[in-house]
Structure 1
């Protein structure tokens, strides 16, 4: 597939499925014109519109239909809504920005966009999220890699005028030739080819923290629920957090529950006495930018990395109690190894 690298006059379409994707997409949109946000959840749409009500934004979510061949019928409906919306804009070129090219809500867009606009008039760009900002997730076996690369159009897809585009390189398709650019967080080490990467325009210089009264944000986690920490170990972590905040003479303490804890009504881990519970539907990334804290504290989370790279030296980002986490996954140690590199303080 031949894809042009620069299309400044194109329509920029952001497929937003998380708080980080919202913030990253917004930083790109601030530097561009002709932007439209396709949000997978209503709260993400609300976040986009709260930043700039003039931006075009819609909630369009892929949902499997009930009954026979429900997934394919859901894809058809999803694509119809997206491309009906895009057809209302006059631009004949389109830049897509998404987290991956894998999965029904992303991959089927590729063939449909190429068919509608022409391969020379579309680009597909990746904004990695979570651990994908750091490391490439390769196929676990050559057999799985070959199966994805040689995937053929099934007769069922053909019946619904669908085509799933094969890809290569890695499990998320980020290294595929289909992908034009990979947008990375400035200052963060990663494994992607430099020639294909462009740093997100993080507005670090415009962020200001501190008004004379020290303010801290504790990020809730689900470590006990995920069996990565016992309740006694969580209590020990909370004591460490309280001691740290006391030594720093922090006056205002806020607690932001983990999204999973709010949705499934599980205990709010790391909540300490005296902290003000944050009742906000905003993604953490947007709440963090709006409030701008002197300290951001948790145990182990990519959110700490995001906070440090967004705020730099303006905010002290602190990992407390990571030594008590019962984790041996590559994801844990890959993230943890970055803390010292980018200036996250570690109190085990």
Structure 2
């Protein structure tokens, strides 16, 4: 019988990397269980880093066949995770959000299945979702009451209602909210715990204060090929991007192409084209870069959340690149800036 079991429900590479750091530091000593509920996370999971792992299908998207398939999937998911947890004294449940039915029912069912005397819920960082609060609307509050009705058919499916922010940051069951360094947030300060940068360079790389070459990553994407940029504008954008890197004293430039960018549009002579045999997210988490640059790839947002302030993340060419509308440009610019990506027009 374990004293403390920490369970991590993750749905993205960012959440996975945050959960890994939390397991190694803030939850050290607990039994560590990873549950992912988006299939795309599976390729980055390293089972040897956890005491147990499992894929849990999302009930709404993957109901069981037949009548009441969603309801039966919820019950099967609870049995699955409870079998991994076993018996314990204390449960720490980690998730980026607690209002969704895929996660919420565990707040009531899992402590009872495990015989736990204490349960705490802790919120994982979720990138841009974590930048601001999302108050529960009257409709969402009404939906909580409807979900509570499942208890009439299955006592373990008791929905735990709460008010305030929809992720659960204001709820009494939540005692800790993990945030990324440098990322803005609107959470109550008494609950906030700031993580270290998620990128943890491997021991083979020089220490931060050791002499080393300055290194940058160019994030490629289809621009001309996708109709986002005129062909005559591409050389100027690439020249500005690479010129800025030279101004920063970058000695080594690596280029990560996009699967839909066979022409490596932003690649310049001397760039080292990468060919990775693992997901980009895991590879990035073990690297150290002085700068990561691109145009409008969402990989820049991921990089900004992964690295601390010592790594500059820049977006170039926004004066030439096309957007579907002025509203799309405003929304994307607000997103990039709120995440800390510097936009060079």
Query: Do these two structures clear the TM 0.5 threshold for a shared fold by scoring above it?
Result: yes
**Structure 2 counterpart of 1:316:** 312
The verdict on how the C-alpha distance between 1:98 and 1:45 changes in structure 2, with shifts beyond 3 A counting, is same
Of 110, 115, 121 in structure 1, the residue corresponding to residue 112 of structure 2 is 115
Aligned length: 319
Structure 1 position 100, deviation (Å): 0.7
Out of 4, 16, 20, the residue aligned to residue 22 of structure 1 is: 16
Alignment of 1:152-171 (within 5 A): 153-154=148-149, 157-161=151-155, 162-171=157-166
Alpha-carbon offset, residue 216 of structure 1: 1.6
Contact 2:92 2:122 in 1 (8 A): yes
Q: Secondary structure at the match of 2:113?
A: helix
Counterpart contact for 2:182–2:308, Cα < 8 Å: no
After superposition, the Cα gap between the structure-2 partners of 1:100 and 1:203, relative to the gap in structure 1 and judged at 3 Å, is closer
Please name the residue that 1:253 is paired with: 254
Give 1:109 shift: 1.0
Given that residues 125 and 179 in structure 2 are in contact (C-alpha distance below 8 angstroms), is that contact kept between their aligned partners in structure 1?
A: yes
- Secondary structure of the 2:307 match is helix
1:11-31 deviation per Cα after TM superposition (whole angstroms, max 9, x unaligned): 111112211011111111111
User: Would the aligned equivalents of 2:12 and 2:41 in 1 still touch at CA under 8 Å?
Assistant: yes
Structure 1 vs Structure 2 CA RMSD? 3.7
- Write the deviation string for residues 224-256 of structure 1: whole angstroms up to 9, x where unpaired: 98xxxx533698467514431255346533225
Give, in whole Å, the separation in 2 of the partners of 1:178 and 1:222.
46
Return the offset for 1:93. Answer: 1.0
What is the distance in 1 between the residues matched to 2:337 and 2:102? 33
What residue in structure 2 maps to residue 289 of structure 1?
285
Whether the 8 Å contact between 1:45 and 1:59 is mirrored in structure 2 is: no
CA contact (8 A) 1:13 1:38 kept: yes
Deviations 1:59-79 (A, max 9, x none): 222231122211111111111
TM-score by length of 2: 0.76
Farther-moved stretch of structure 1 (205-214 vs 303-312): 205-214
Change in 2 beyond 3 A, CA 1:233/1:100: farther
**CA distance in 2: counterparts of 1:231 and 1:300, whole angstroms:** 10
Q: In structure 1, what is the equivalent of residue 66 of structure 2? A: 67
- Corresponding residue for residue 213 of structure 2: 212
SS in 1 for 2:6: strand
- After TM superposition, list the pairs within 5 Å mapping 1:198-209 onto structure 2: 198-202=193-197
Q: Is the 8 A contact 1:218 1:270 kept in 2?
A: no
Q: How does 1:71-150 map to 2 (within 5 A)?
A: 71-87=70-86, 91-117=88-114, 120-139=117-136, 142-148=137-143, 150=145
What is the CA–CA distance in structure 2 between the aligned matches of 1:120 and 1:213, rounded to whole Å? 52
Q: Greater CA deviation, 320-329 or 93-102? A: 320-329
Structure 2: runs of 5+ lacking an equivalent: none
Q: Residue 220 of structure 1 contacts residue 268 of structure 1 at CA under 8 Å; is this kept in 2?
A: no
* Cα distance in 2 between the residues matched to 1:194 and 1:76: 35
Alpha-carbon contact 2:222-2:265 (below 8 Å) kept: no
Report the secondary structure of 1:217's partner residue: strand
Could you tell me how far apart the structure 2 residues matched to 1:75 and 1:271 are? 46
Instruction: Give the conservation status (yes or no) of the 8 Å contact 1:242–1:272.
Output: no
5+ long unaligned stretches in structure 1:
1-7
CA distance in 1, matches of 2:89, 2:101: 24
Give yes or no for contact 2:199–2:287 (8 Å, CA) kept in 1: no
Kindly indicate whether the alpha-carbon contact (under 8 Å) linking 1:48 and 1:57 is maintained by their aligned counterparts in 2.
Answer: no
Q: Displacement of 1:217 after TM fit?
A: 3.2
Indicate the residue corresponding to 2:187 in structure 1: 192
Q: For 1:281-324, what per-residue CA distance to the aligned partner results, in whole angstroms no more than 9, with x for missing partners?
A: 4252x221223333212345665355345433442211223454
Structure 1: distance between partners of 2:283 and 2:126: 18
Instruction: Return closer, same or farther for 1:239/1:270 CA change in 2, 3 Å cut-off.
Output: farther
